[in-house]
């Protein structure tokens, strides 16, 4: 079992009509996540940006963040191309696969590119809207108060979240639909691509962020006695650009990497764990996909639930309320899934304890 999980070998599973239909439904749910992200994006961009001075500063940050990411993607793209070719030849292929070794190697390399592309897309989408949402949040706080500002801010972050779950679930489900029993051999490439790109964006963005932050403080506060984040200090723009490329683009790509890698690992380990069970390995493949599909639906519910009930209510209280609503709905959905599909509540308890620990941290 551990050898199969480590190498991502072929699995002995039979895809029945129910499983095929379920895969299409899960694929549709991943598209719903992306559609909901588009809806949130439209709502955020519909909000007013404020004064001309606010627009001017926001535009400078937008241009700086976009220039940084474009330069980073060009550099990383060369490295990713070299790794794609290396991945095609280096990683071994299980001898008992249904597809040919050439097909597996090709699919693994394409999945690697797909994972990296999805990770970059998630990071770019998160950053692109963040640099446009921040000025709208500031203006909403100035004109309308906490409730409107928090609504715009949380929905701005919700776009990156929906891209994460939508693209992650879309990629994994598509690979399972195409490669079937050999999906685990290809999924490792998908996880590797997303993880590698996220590392570059997180580390590169973090270095830029700290360099710009320290530089702005040294020049502004120490040498010129200008307050922190004062627009008169040109380095403040670079500081804010760094905050966006590191804490928005880098964080979003990092979240995508965590999401897809854990999904890939769950599918590989699940197929190995259920290989000799009555249900068969197919249950171990489908259960993680079902759980993530449930998570998409409950996440949408949680995002819509985040709204302060009054101007005096803490923003974190509203966010926590949305989180716990989503967590409870997820627990109920997974309980029904474990009881009816796997018919083994141990799968539910595994997810439940994860929800509890996440709630404690929250």
Confidence class of residue 6 from pLDDT cuts 50, 70 and 90? Answer: very low
Res 308: pLDDT: 75
**Domain residue limits, the chain:** 2-279
Q: Which of 29-43, 64-78, 284-298, 336-350 has the lowest mean pLDDT?
A: 64-78
Residue 78 burial by Cβ neighbours in a 10 Å radius (0-12, 13-18, 19+): exposed
When pLDDT is averaged across residues 1-29 and rounded to a whole number, the result is 71
Please tell me which residue, 199 or 352, carries the higher pLDDT value: 352
When pLDDT is averaged across residues 120-143 and rounded to a whole number, the result is 87
From CA 268, how far away is CA 140, in angstroms rounded?
A: 46
Res 36: pLDDT: 95
When pLDDT is averaged across residues 301-308 and rounded to a whole number, the result is 86
Q: Which of 94-98, 243-247, 274-278 has the lowest mean pLDDT?
A: 94-98
Res 193: pLDDT: 86
Q: Which of 86-100, 235-249, 251-265 has the lowest mean pLDDT?
A: 86-100
CA atoms within 13 A on the CB side of 56: 5
Res 173: pLDDT: 93
Average pLDDT over the chain, rounded to an integer: 82
């Amino acid at each position: 079992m551990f050898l199969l999980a480590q190498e991502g070998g072929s699995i002995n599973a039979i895809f029945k009509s129910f499983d095929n239909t379920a895969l299409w439904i899960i694929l549709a749910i991943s598209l719903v996540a992306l559609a909901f992200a588009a809806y949130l994006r439209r709502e955020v961009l519909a909000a007013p940006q404020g004064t001309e001075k606010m627009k001017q500063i926001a535009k400078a940050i937008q241009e700086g963040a976009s220039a940084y990411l474009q330069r980073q993607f060009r550099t990383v793209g060369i490295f990713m191309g070299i790794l794609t070719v290396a991945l095609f030849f280096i990683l071994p292929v299980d001898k008992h696969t249904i597809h040919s070794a050439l097909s597996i190697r090709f699919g693994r390399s394409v999945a690697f590119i797909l994972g990296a592309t999805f990770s970059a897309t998630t990071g770019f989408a998160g950053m692109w809207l963040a640099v446009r949402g921040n000025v709208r949040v500031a203006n909403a706080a100035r004109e309308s108060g906490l409730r409107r500002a928090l609504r715009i801010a949380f929905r701005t972050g919700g776009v990156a979240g929906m891209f994460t779950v939508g693209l992650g679930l879309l990629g994994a489900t598509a690979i399972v639909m195409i490669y079937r029993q050999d999906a685990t051999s290809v999924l490792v490439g998908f996880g590797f691509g997303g993880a590698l790109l996220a590392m570059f964006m997180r580390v590169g963005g973090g270095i830029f962020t700290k360099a710009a932050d320290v530089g702005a403080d040294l020049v502004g506060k120490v040498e010129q006695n200008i307050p922190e984040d004062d627009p008169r200090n040109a380095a403040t723009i670079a500081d804010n650009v760094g905050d966006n490329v590191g804490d928005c683009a880098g964080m979003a790509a990092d979240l995508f990497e965590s999401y897809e890698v854990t999904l890939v690992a769950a599918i590989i380990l699940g197929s190995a764990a259920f290989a000799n069970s009555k249900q068969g390995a197919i249950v171990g493949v489908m259960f993680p996909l079902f759980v993530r599909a449930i998570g998409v639906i409950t996440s949408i519910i949680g995002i819509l639930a985040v709204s302060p009930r009054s101007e005096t209510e803490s923003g974190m209280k509203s966010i926590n309320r949305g989180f716990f609503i989503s967590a409870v709905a997820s627990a109920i959905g997974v309980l029904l899934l474990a009881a009816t599909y796997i018919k083994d509540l141990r799968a539910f308890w595994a997810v439940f304890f994860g929800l509890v620990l996440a709630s404690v941290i929250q």
